[in-house]
Structure 1
Amino acid sequence: MTQLTSVTVKGVRWTYLAGAAGIAVQIPYAAAMARLLTPADFGLMALAHLVLRFAHNFAQGGLRSAVVQRPSLTGRDVRVIFALALTAGSCSFAAIWLIAPCATELLRGPAELTSLIRTAALILVFMALGAPATGLLSRGMRYRAIAFTDFFSFVVGYCVIGISSALLGAGVWSLVYGTLGWYLLQALLPYLMVRHSLLPLFDVRAMHEVMRFGGKVSVNGFLEYLTEDFGKLVIGRYVGVTAAGLYDRAALLASLPLQQIQAAAGKVLLPAFSRIQNESNRLSASYADCAALTTLVLFPLWAVIGASSEQLVALLLGSQWRGSAELVPILGLVSALSLVTQFSGTLVEAIGAVGRKLVISVVQLLVLVAGTALALFLGCGVHGLMVVVLASQLVKQALFHAWLNRLFPATRRPVAEAYAQAAGLTVLIWVALWSVQGALEGGCPVALVLAAKAATAGALVLGCLRYGAGLHGVRVARERGLLPGKLSRQDLKEAC
């Protein structure tokens, strides 16, 4: 195992540990807030986030990625990047402040939405100013520090500030205060760890050089925002704020564990890929390995969430969120496909090939807009819109694979095998969980049904790890040191 591989594996372990801790905290937080607030409150915050995400990527300007991806980085470069961050953050905040009333009218939201948007827009400033420090932590592969920042920021920002505000009767504003606290700590803590110069350097030529890469990342992020949140925007405008809240909580429940896995791995893979951006053979092998691992983890996990959606919504969110349960399975599949594709996007971003990534995002957006227009014309409702979102994600997935297969021809067979193996395991888990529900539903409490499903899924996964040496993802995990080389019966007993 090379030194880079060893550092990367340690980074994956740290970020996954932080991700697991984050899930352990986020689930009780989501359950508590779902009972303290109403669907309309979450709907308002979801609409505010739609507007903020409009400027989200331009506020950061792709600066974190630029810090990580650059072959060499000097103190002067950091000052230039900080100057860009200061400019981008300030301009983004000012733009959102000005367009907030128009955005409220476009989304057909209440007058309070304007104040929500303007206050929450401070996160754009925090995000931009924190980008250089966060990028320096990632570039230095200081994964333990990144893991600590993520976990501590969430606990203090959302759990302490958010829940305390909700208990004091702040309503939807408790979501704003929690979000502001989280973003502020996400910017402050990395800076305290790296202590880069805060003296901005407004060198136009150097800033232009940084923005040649960072600007493309921002534009691509903006297009991804449009494709990811287009459904929420349409629902909020044409169906209503409450429906947007149900959609928002369904999306959270469907994607929470999946996004934690993707976010954790993404923080590790961009620096790792950037270090070997000129070594085609190693990049090719890494792409095949990532495809095997991500599909084998994300798709079966989606099966567990989708097949247990009714029980999860009933226990975690409560009866007022029953309408979210039927949206969870399809949103979970969309999320799983999206997150698998993001690993491919991380790879092409690391090698600087952002242009074609932009083209793929544009094609996906065109499919989404055309499909949405057709669904609205036919009166297909929320479920029809979800099918359109899924179709657009499948198009993006196909285009990425076609491109990467041309870049790395040797990966075609192992990647196809990885998808086939993950699909087989996913179907097995889904059928098993539905069988459990059919046997227990009606006479058993919801908690018992969910526990039985979790036990069944756990047994299948442990059996896969113990006897699935032929699975590409399991083999890669063992070779990379993410799993023991041989899982014994004693290991299984201890896990159970």
Structure 2
Amino acid sequence: MNLKQKTLNGVKWTGLSSIIIALLQLAQVSILARYLAPSDFGLMAIVSVVIGFSALFMDMGISSAIIHKQDITKNQLSSLYWLNIFSGTALFIIVYLSASLIANYYNELRIVPLIKLLAITFLISAVGNQYRILNQKKLRFNRLAKVEIFSTLAGFIVAVLCAVNNYGVHSLIYGTLTNVSLSNIIFMLLGLKEHKPNLCYKHSEIKSLISFGFFQMGEKSINYFNSQFDVILIGKLLGTEALGVYNIAKTLVMKPAQIINPIITKVTFPIMSTVQSDTKKLKSIYLKTINYLCSVNFPIYIAMVVLAEPLVLIFFGDTWTQSAIIMQILAIYFMLRSTGNPIGSLQLAKGRADLGFYWNLGLFIIIPLSIYLGSFKGLIGVTIALVSLQLFLSIPNWYFMVKRLCGASFKEYFNEILIPLVTAIVSSILGYVIFWSSLIENVYISSVFFLITSSVIYLFLIKKYNKNLWSLLTSQYYGNLLNNNGRKRK
């Protein structure tokens, strides 16, 4: 397939995978919310942060280095594979032995066996991680999607069966172990048919890749902390029950971005890497990526603000209604935050993981301070602090990151955000006015009526004011843009 076909195929399969996986995860949380207590979700949130952060050290940024380097050799891949195995084993031991120390920090001994169980994922992930990345590098998104959907479905079934049989918080643990085990074993078995690592380790051959990876690992590590400081500090300052309420709202609010953003960013990183030397083309692709992400994310998040209470009732039941207001504020936060997602692909495409590292190092100081100050007003204070900080950082984010990497001006960048934002707000207001004047009393029928009305208005406004997006929807402009570049490279 040519570049255009690979791109469109990647978008299709990544989109399918992202949607199905997010829906399965949402269904899992929705079902388990009927069987588990808020404190159980709080415990799992803490354990997930510990495991997720530790996993970054196993990868060491090597995954991004493999995709970035276009002429990587078999010996380099072999050395990186054994480095992954060593890192996974070391992390398993470290996390397993540190479980009690982490429990003491939270004054919660129940997380000790949970951390020890999930630490097994490091041993499992080490054998399959490189093969997953090689599939992404070769744009085999159909294989990635099929394996990820299958393993997620298996994990979902295990988690639900365990919850129904009163396994409590261990239902979440066993579901995660099933998912990770199946996906990595399948990738390993498929990958061994194409690439069998040599029994060698040559540090000199992978030194440059490790150097690239260290900056990426440092940036990802700090970024991970920045994105999880809310969980870390809420669990410590407000307790596991408050954390459970917060995390339920956060889980629902994160789903749109988890579905939509990977559809674009998983595909655009390898694509951007192929045009990394053409700054004009790179800027064009990046700006359109921002426009398309905002055009899809913004109306969804604004709708979540309007429909927070019925959404909580539908997905989690009436015992979780206290999380509705948290969900509304978080919807605004994640809407704003979604605009920064493609910057990571832009950094890596240009080989500038160092910029992301220094940016997130600054956030490492600001974010915990904001959350700590907000915590004096409880969960609402924390969420308001997050929204305020995101607004404050929007202009520095453009100036120090976007402008430096692709040369986009202030007007070029913020126009791609402003147009989707205004059209989403206007369509939601008009939809709400029509819904309010209809005098429909049933909350579920009225919610559907609002969604249909605002969606129709939004599509009309897109056609009139967002020409680039309408061009994509009607003539596949994005694929044509990439295909033209592919012909030039030939």
Query: What TM-score do you get using the length of structure 1 for normalisation?
Result: 0.90
Deviations along 1:436-482, whole A, 9 cap, x unmatched? 664578x73332232222222332344345x3364433334545357
Correspondence list, 1:203-214, <5 A = 203-214=202-213
In structure 2, C-alpha distance between the alignment counterparts of 1:459 and 1:163, rounded to whole Å: 37
2:170 partner amino acid: W
Question: What is the deviation of 1:355?
Answer: 0.9
Q: 1:206/1:389 Cα in 2 relative to 1: closer, same or farther (>3 Å)?
A: farther
- Aligned residue identity for 2:415: E
Query: Is the Cα–Cα contact under 8 Å of residues 364 and 395 in structure 1 kept in the other structure?
Result: no
- The 8 Å contact of residues 276 and 283 in structure 1, kept in 2 or not, is answered as yes
Residue 162 (structure 1) aligns with? 159
Contact 1:288 1:411 in 2 (8 A): no
Whole-angstrom CA distance in 1 between matches of 2:458 and 2:21: 22
Counterpart of 1:480 (choices 459, 470, 476) is 476
Deviation string, structure 1 residues 89-125 (Cα, Å, up to 9, x no partner): 111211111211111111222x221110111112233
Distance 1:471 1:416, change over 3 A: farther
Select 1:123's aligned residue among 115, 121, 124.
121
Offset of residue 393 of structure 1:
3.0
The separation in 2 between residues aligned to 1:311 and 1:185, in whole angstroms, is 35
Q: Counterpart of 1:336?
A: 335
1:192 CA displacement: 2.9
Distance change (3 Å), C-alpha of 1:27 and 1:475: same
1:382-461 maps to which residues of 2 (within 5 A)?
A: 382-403=379-400, 404-410=402-408, 412-432=410-430, 434-435=432-433, 438=436, 444-461=441-458
Mapping 1:82-97, distance limit 5 Å: 82-97=81-96
CA distance in 2, matches of 1:315, 1:216: 43
Q: Which residue of 1 aligns with 2:150?
A: 152
Kept in 2, the 8 Å contact 1:289–1:476? The answer is no
- Equivalence map 1:149-228=2 (5 Å): 149-157=147-155, 159-195=156-192, 196-228=195-227
Instruction: Answer yes or no: is the 8 Å Cα contact 2:159–2:175 preserved in 1.
Output: yes
Residue by residue over 1:298-318, the C-alpha shift from the partner in whole angstroms, topping out at 9 and shown as x without a partner, is 112211222111110011100
**How far, CA to CA, are the matches of 1:440 and 1:168 in structure 2?**
45
The aligned amino acid for 1:472 is N
* Residue 31 (structure 1) aligns with: 30
Tell me, yes or no, if the aligned pair for 2:275 and 2:281 is still in contact at 8 Å: yes
Whether 2:68 is the aligned partner of 1:69: answer yes
Residue 310 of structure 1 aligns to a residue whose secondary structure is helix
Please say which of residues 412-421 and 146-155 is displaced more in the overlay. 412-421
1:25 to partner: Cα distance: 3.1
Alpha-carbon distance in 2 for matches of 1:440, 1:160: 41
The aligned amino acid for 2:386 is V
> In structure 2, what is the Cα distance between the partners aligned to 1:298 and 1:313?
19
* In structure 2, distance between residues paired with 1:43 and 1:141: 37
Structure 1 residues 180 and 33, CA, compared in 2 at 3 Å: closer, same or farther?
same
Q: Is the 8 A contact 1:285 1:411 kept in 2?
A: no
- The one-letter amino acid of 1:254's match is V
Q: Which runs of 5+ in 2 are unaligned?
A: 481-490
Q: 1:122 to 1:453 in 2, by over 3 A?
A: farther
CA drift at 1:322? 1.1
What amino acid is aligned across from residue 140 of structure 1 in structure 2?
K
Give 1:356 shift.
1.4
Matched, 1:286 2:282: no
What SS does structure 1 have at the residue aligned with 2:277?
Answer: coil
1:197-229, CA deviations, whole angstroms, 9 ceiling, x for partnerless residues?
A: 244532222343221111211111111111111
| CA shift in 2, pair 1:11/1:317, >3 Å | same
Q: Distance in 2 between matches of 1:457 and 1:23?
A: 24
Structure 1 contact 311–449 (Cα < 8 Å) conserved: no
On the 8 A contact 1:57/1:218 being kept in 2, the answer is yes
Between 122-131 and 216-225, the greater mean CA deviation after superposition? 122-131
Cα distance in 1 between the residues matched to 2:339 and 2:473: 17
User: Does structure 1 retain, via aligned residues, the 8 Å contact 2:347–2:405?
Assistant: no
Task: Tell me which of 374, 377, 381 is aligned to 1:380.
Answer: 377
Equivalent residue, structure 1, for 2:107: 108
1:339-383 deviation digits (Å, cap 9, x = unpaired): 32120111111211011111111122221123234334xx22212
1:373 and 1:313 map into 2 onto residues whose CA distance is 27
Q: 1:267 is matched with which residue?
A: 266
Aligned to 2:488: none
What SS does the aligned partner of 1:444 have?
A: coil
Q: Is the 8 A contact 2:56 2:217 kept in 1?
A: yes
Deviation at 1:172, TM superposition (A): 0.4
Specify the code of the residue in structure 1 equivalent to 2:423. L
**In structure 2, the residue corresponding to 1:92 is in which secondary structure?**
helix
Once the two structures are overlaid, the 10-residue window that deviates more, 345-354 or 389-398, is 389-398
Aligned match of 2:464: 468
Partner Cα separation in structure 1 for residue 337 and residue 127 of structure 2? 28
AA aligned opposite 2:309? E
Secondary structure of the residue aligned to 1:380 is: helix
What code does the residue aligned with 2:152 have? F
Aligned counterpart, 1:489:
none
Distance 2:134 2:4 in 1: 20
- Structure 2: distance between partners of 1:385 and 1:373: 8
Shifted more, 191-200 versus 309-318: the winner is 191-200
Distance 1:364 1:32, change over 3 A: same
Give 1:332 deviation, angstroms.
Answer: 2.0
Percent of matched pairs sharing the same residue: 22
Structure 1 gaps, min length 5: 485-496
Q: Give the deviation of 1:483 after TM superposition.
A: 10
Structure 1 SS opposite 2:271: helix
Q: Are the counterparts in 1 of residues 419 and 466 from structure 2 also a CA contact under 8 Å?
A: no
Aligned CA distance change for structure 1 residues 226 and 200 (closer, same or farther; 3 Å): farther
**Aligned twin of 2:251:** 252
Aligned twin of 1:237: 236
- Structure 1 residues 328 and 201: alpha-carbon distance in aligned structure 2, compared to 1, 3 A threshold: farther
